[in-house]
Amino acid sequence: MNQQINLKIAPSILASDFSCLLSDVKKVEQKADILHFDIMDGHFVPNITFGPGVVRALRGKINLPFDVHLMVDNPEKWIKPFAETGCEFLTVHLEAAVHLDRLVSSIKGEGIKAGVALNPATSLCNLEYILPRLDLVLLMTVNPGFGAQKFIPEVLPKIKNLRQMAEKRGVQLDIGVDGGINGKTAEKVVKAGANILVMGTSIFGAPDPKKAILDIREKISNYLERKEDY
Ligand code: DX5
Ligand code: ZN
């Protein structure tokens, strides 16, 4: 049985060569579905990346939806500046949110899709009353802060539980996974119920990033063809 899923590949520019960012992103533009931006503030996570200026600089030059993953304390301060970059998704961490409902309202108020990210050890319980208002839940499959880390397999049942939770409530939810996704782990997360694969190292670290995306797609579609029980 060929089970259809709305698979989206989201290369994370964190793993690109910042000295030639635009030309690296151009390599994936035709084959990717979303471009993922990792915003780190040195407080919520022990690393610093870049701000809205970089997102804005690419916006006019790249024809892909932009997904901004805010790994910052006080995310409420950053909704507006990132909304103004023209991104399509804005994702805040549950662990950094004091007023999650208010944050989601302000993202949606900007006309942007709202996402919530959960660290590996964070329970799904806190999504219970907000799930129908979310467009995306991003399940971290590493501890956020750095690229090229090892996938944490304990998140697999969490992906499955979240997909069941969404289906039970009739919510059309994108479930993203972020960290350590490659040819081996992609199949497992899709099997568990994820449909957005954020991938840094395995795309930008590959000799041919475009081919890396095509290979992943083929792997997933072969897998969906042969499996009987989804
Ligand atoms: C981790 C970031 C990820 C990271 C994934 O904190 O949120 O988006 O770029 O990188 P890889 O695919 O290299 O694990
Ligand atoms: Zn990310």
Ligand 1 near 14 CB (within 6 A): yes
pLDDT band at 2 (very low <50, low <70, confident <90, very high): very low
Across the chain, mean pLDDT equals: 96
Question: Distance between CA atoms of 178 and 122, rounded to whole angstroms?
Answer: 14
Q: Which amino acid type is present at position 192?
A: A
Query: Global pTM?
Result: 0.97
Question: Distance between CA atoms of 31 and 9, rounded to whole angstroms?
Answer: 8
Closest ligand 1 atom to residue 198 Cα is 8
Residue 3: the pLDDT is 61
DSSP letter at 146 equals -
- Determine which one of 24, 67, 135, 178 is catalytic: 178
Residue 225: the pLDDT is 86
Residue 227: the pLDDT is 67
Residue 229: the pLDDT is 47
> Does position 206 have pLDDT exceeding 80, yes or no?
yes
Percentages helix, strand, coil for the chain, rounded to the nearest 5? 45, 20, 40
Residue whose CB lies within 8 A of the most ligand 1 atoms, among 25, 68, 178, for a mutation test: 178
| Residue ID of nearest Cα to ligand 1 atom 6 | 144
The domains located in the chain, with CATH, are 8-226 (3.20.20.70)
Residue whose CB lies within 8 A of the most ligand 1 atoms, among 43, 92, 119, 146, for a mutation test: 146
Closest ligand 1 atom to residue 149 Cα is 14
pLDDT tens string 105-133: 999 999 999 999 999 999 999 999 999 99
pLDDT tens string 81-107: 999 999 999 999 999 999 999 999 999
pLDDT band at 4 (very low <50, low <70, confident <90, very high): confident
Helical residues (DSSP H) of the chain, grouped into ranges: 21-29, 52-59, 79-83, 100-109, 156-168, 183-192, 201-204, 209-226
What mean pLDDT do residues 138-144 have? 98
Long-range contacts of 146-153, Cβ-Cβ distance < 8 Å, separation of 24 or more: 146/47, 147/12, 147/14, 147/15, 147/38, 147/200, 147/201, 148/15, 148/200, 148/201, 148/205, 149/179, 149/180, 150/180, 151/179, 151/180, 151/181, 151/182, 151/185, 152/120, 152/179, 152/180, 153/188
Q: Which segments of 22-152 are extended strands (E)?
A: 35-40, 66-71, 89-93, 113-118, 136-140
Around ion ligand 2, which residues have CB less than 5 A away? 38, 69, 178
Distance 118 CA to ligand 1 centre (A): 14
Closest ligand 1 atom to residue 143 Cα is 6
Does the active-site annotation cover 38? yes
Does the active-site annotation cover 178? yes
> Does position 65 have pLDDT exceeding 70, yes or no?
yes
Residue 82 makes CB contacts below 8 A (sequence gap 6+) with 39, 52, 55, 68, 70, 90
